[in-house]
Amino acid sequence: MSVKIRLARGGAKKKPFYRIVAANNESPRDGRFLETLGTYNPMVKPAAITLKNDRIKYWIGVGAQPTTTVKSILKKEGFNSNPS
């Protein structure tokens, strides 16, 4: 099973809210996921981001691949995926 760290959309029409989740790469965007790793709210200035750093490190450590969008969010928050 290949795992991705990606965004799952929530919120109302024209008011997006995203959960950062670890999910099987074959699951639909807003479908089943393994664990919630944080949230991303682009509607407030600056964008509100919460992360569970220890769980993100765990999932990356076991081989989960973040999508390009999640990778840019992690980089913006100063998350270092390298354990060294």
Confidence category of residue 83, pLDDT binned at 50, 70, 90 = low
Structure confidence at residue 31 (pLDDT)? 82
Domains of the chain by range and CATH?
3-64 (3.30.1320.10)
pLDDT tens digits, 33-62: 999 999 999 999 999 999 999 999 999 999
What's the full length of the chain, in residues? 84
Are 81 and 60 in contact by the 8 Å Cβ rule? The answer is: yes
